[in-house]
């Protein structure tokens, strides 16, 4: 950047424009990468120092062992703050990671049933719906009508009401049953948040892992005890030909 562009505005003059095709940096300018003559300086504790020359601001940053970070480049003059830039980047990365971890994505599972479903299939599909709800996901229940079944919508309505009552502990009706062409649709929402369900699932995994570790430890202990018992037992004496003879028989 030349002297004519020392106000921090790129592209004022054609000769000062950045090369095309280069990557655009989203990092703030720090220390000697700041190209303005003056900055509005902010102290580490947030107090306003005022407008100072860039050389003076860099000298203050060096004396305090901090960085001069441009936090508002579009202001006139730009606002710069004295801070530990590495620590600031680390804390921001931690906050972004925590916010992504707490972010919940809405997932809608779908389960399709027939109005005349048998009891075994119903119990299987109800188990799937319960599992989805406990995982914190919404479930879209679709009743599919075929042929003359379309003239009996009460069959689908009764089935949906029965399913909603059976899973009432884990889910509630978010969208009441409604007719959609040949199908009847109802949406169930979980009673717990997805984050709570995730914590419970993680706790269950840890409990199972601890149980498996305990079983393996008990099995190894039993095997060690069996080996120790085998070592303390005296070996059996092998029988020879003389052991099969009657001691009362005189061989002479």
CATH code, 35: 3.10.20.80
User: In terms of domains, do 64 and 117 share one?
Assistant: no
Helix (H) or strand (E) holding 198: helix 194-232
Tokens describing residue 245: 């003879």
Examine residue 219 and state whether it is found in any structural domain, yes or no.
Answer: no
Whether residue 79 is found in the same domain as residue 126:
no
The pair of structure tokens assigned to 231 is 């070592």
| Residue 198: inside a domain | no
Angle between helices 119-134 and 153-166 (to 10 degrees): 50
Q: Which long-range contacts (CB under 8 A, 24 or more apart) does 175-183 make?
A: 179/153, 182/144, 182/145, 182/146, 182/150, 183/142, 183/143, 183/144, 183/145
Please tell me the pTM assigned to this model. Answer: 0.44
Token pair for 209: 């892992």
Residue 92 lies in a domain: no
Q: Is 99 helix (H, G, I), strand (E, B) or coil?
A: helix
What is the Cα–Cα distance from 31 to 66, expressed in whole angstroms? 9
Query: What CATH number corresponds to the domain at position 123?
Result: 3.30.110.10
Domain boundary, last residue among 159, 176, 192: 192
Domain presence at residue 81: yes
**What is the span of the domain harbouring residue 45?**
3-18+25-86
Strand order in the sheet with 79-83: 48-53, 38-42, 79-83, 67-72
Name the strand (E) or helix (H) holding 226: helix 194-232
Does the residue 247 lie in any domain?
no
Tally of domains in the chain:
2
**Per-residue tens of pLDDT for the chain, all 252 residues:** 444 444 444 444 444 555 554 555 678 888 988 888 999 999 988 888 889 999 999 999 998 999 999 988 888 899 999 999 989 889 989 988 887 776 656 678 999 999 999 999 999 999 999 999 988 889 999 999 998 888 899 999 999 999 999 999 999 999 999 998 899 999 999 988 766 666 777 777 888 888 888 888 888 888 888 888 777 766 666 666 656 555 565 555
């Amino acid at each position: 950047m030349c002297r004519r562009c020392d106000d921090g505005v790129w592209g004022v003059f054609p000769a000062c424009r950045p090369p095309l095709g280069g990557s655009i940096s989203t990092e703030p300018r720090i220390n000697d990468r700041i190209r303005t003559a003056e900055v509005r300086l902010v102290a580490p504790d947030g107090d306003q120092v005022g407008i100072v020359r860039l050389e003076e601001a860099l000298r203050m940053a060096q004396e305090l062992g901090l960085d001069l970070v441009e936090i508002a480049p579009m202001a006139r003059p730009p606002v710069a703050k004295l801070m530990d830039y590495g620590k600031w980047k680390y804390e921001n990365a931690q906050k972004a990671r925590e916010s992504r971890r707490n972010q919940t994505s809405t997932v809608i599972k779908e389960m399709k049933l027939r109005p005349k479903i048998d009891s075994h299939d119903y119990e299987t599909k109800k188990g799937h719906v319960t599992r989805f709800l406990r995982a914190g996901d919404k479930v879209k229940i679709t009743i599919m009508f075929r042929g003359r079944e379309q003239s009996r919508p009460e069959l689908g309505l009764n089935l949906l009401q029965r399913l909603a009552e059976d899973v009432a502990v884990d889910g509630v009706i978010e969208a009441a049953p409604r007719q959609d062409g040949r199908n009847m649709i109802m949406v169930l929402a979980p009673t717990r948040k997805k984050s709570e369900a995730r914590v419970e699932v993680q706790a269950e995994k840890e409990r199972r892992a601890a149980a498996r570790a305990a079983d393996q430890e008990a099995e190894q202990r039993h095997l060690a005890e069996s080996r120790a018992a085998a070592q303390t037992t005296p070996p059996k004496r092998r029988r020879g030909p003389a052991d099969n003879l009657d001691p009362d028989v005189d061989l002479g």
